[in-house]
């Protein structure tokens, strides 16, 4: 099964994609994670993207389309994939249709995680991950059991994304509303769009996604 998760920053796409990946073996394809990996490895593409990401703006379509086209052609995507963070513009959605047709693949569903905008800023401002194992936490909603110590691996170092702050969130939300939201009618017209309440508890959101996918 090939699906897309769409939602504003902080809507829970990454969390839900990881849960679905664990449960059903589909591969999570997060373009944000791929870009952060390219920055970490000091690849030219990462350096080009970093300035835009830090400002909360979208990276050019051509760069993103090239990145995802190469990725979905890989063998590990044959069992299915969950796109998390792509497409983010109508031209990206159109390019995705063409590349799927070329590779004889199709989309089974597009799931929108709908979340209240005020909640997003609070969610994003407090999130951080363990630098050693990547376990995710939130200052208010999911703190570590022992202050400063990762519950999963005992690590003591945590990282916060450079763009997870209230100021950059304003630009990221604007990019979502202006450039990404227009892809919702695009998929609705194709009969693929399902909308899920992303404000519910994490397990309930997962159950709603599963119901939408009928898995
Ligand atoms: P994310 O981790 O999905 O929140 O993405 C972090 C940042 O990476 C975004 O704010 C954009 O700057 C960039 N990015 C990720 N995916 C895309 C995409 N499909 N198109 C354009 N920019 C993207």
Rounded to the nearest angstrom, the distance between the alpha carbon of 206 and the centre of ligand 1 is 23
**pLDDT at residue 214, as a whole number:** 84
**pLDDT at residue 215, as a whole number:** 63
CATH number for the region 3-115+179-213 comes to 3.40.50.300
Q: Is the CB of 32 under 6 A from ligand 1?
A: yes
For residue 165, what are its two tokens?
Answer: 């702050």
Q: Is the CB of 53 under 6 A from ligand 1?
A: yes
Q: What separation in angstroms does the CA of 191 have from each of 51, 101, 103, 109, 184? A: 36, 17, 21, 9, 11
- Answer for the pair 86, 64: CB distance below 8 angstroms, yes or no: yes
Rounded to the nearest angstrom, the distance between the alpha carbon of 98 and the centre of ligand 1 is 21
For the CA of 35, the nearest atom of ligand 1: 8
What pLDDT, in 10s, does the model give residues 177-195? 999 999 999 999 999 999 9
Give me the helices (H) in 41-165, please: 44-55, 61-72, 90-102, 117-125
For the CA of 31, the nearest atom of ligand 1: 16
Q: Is the CB of 31 under 6 A from ligand 1?
A: yes
Residue bearing the CA closest to ligand 1, atom 6: 32
Q: Which parts of the chain sit beneath pLDDT 50?
A: none
Q: Give the span between the Cα atoms of 130 and 148, in whole angstroms.
A: 10
Q: Give the span between the Cα atoms of 149 and 140, in whole angstroms.
A: 15
What pLDDT, in 10s, does the model give residues 97-141? 999 999 999 999 999 999 999 889 999 999 999 999 999 999 999
Query: What does the domain layout of the chain look like in residue ranges?
Result: 3-115+179-213
Q: Is the CB of 38 under 6 A from ligand 1?
A: no
For the CA of 33, the nearest atom of ligand 1: 2
For residue 162, what are its two tokens?
Answer: 């450079």
């Amino acid at each position: 099964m090939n699906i897309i998760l769409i939602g504003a920053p902080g809507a829970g796409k990454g969390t839900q994609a990881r849960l679905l990946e664990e449960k059903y073996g589909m591969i999570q394809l997060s373009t944000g994670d791929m870009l952060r990996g390219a920055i970490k490895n000091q690849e030219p593409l990462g350096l080009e993207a970093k300035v835009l990401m830090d400002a909360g703006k979208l990276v050019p379509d051509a760069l993103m389309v090239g990145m995802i086209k190469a990725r979905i052609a890989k063998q590990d995507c044959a069992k299915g994939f969950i796109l998390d963070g792509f497409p983010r513009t109508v031209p990206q959605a159109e390019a995705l249709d063409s590349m799927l047709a070329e590779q004889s693949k199709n989309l089974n569903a597009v799931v929108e995680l709908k979340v209240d905008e005020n909640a997003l800023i609070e969610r994003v401002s407090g999130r951080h991950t363990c630098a050693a194992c990547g376990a995710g936490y939130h200052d208010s909603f999911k703190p570590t059991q022992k202050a400063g110590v990762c519950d999963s691996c005992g690590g003591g170092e945590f990282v916060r994304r450079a763009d997870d702050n209230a100021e950059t969130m304003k630009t990221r939300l604007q990019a979502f509303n202006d450039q990404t939201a227009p892809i919702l009618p695009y998929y609705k017209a194709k009969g693929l769009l399902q909308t899920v309440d992303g404000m519910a508890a994490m397990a309930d959101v997962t159950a709603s996604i599963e119901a939408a996918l009928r898995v």
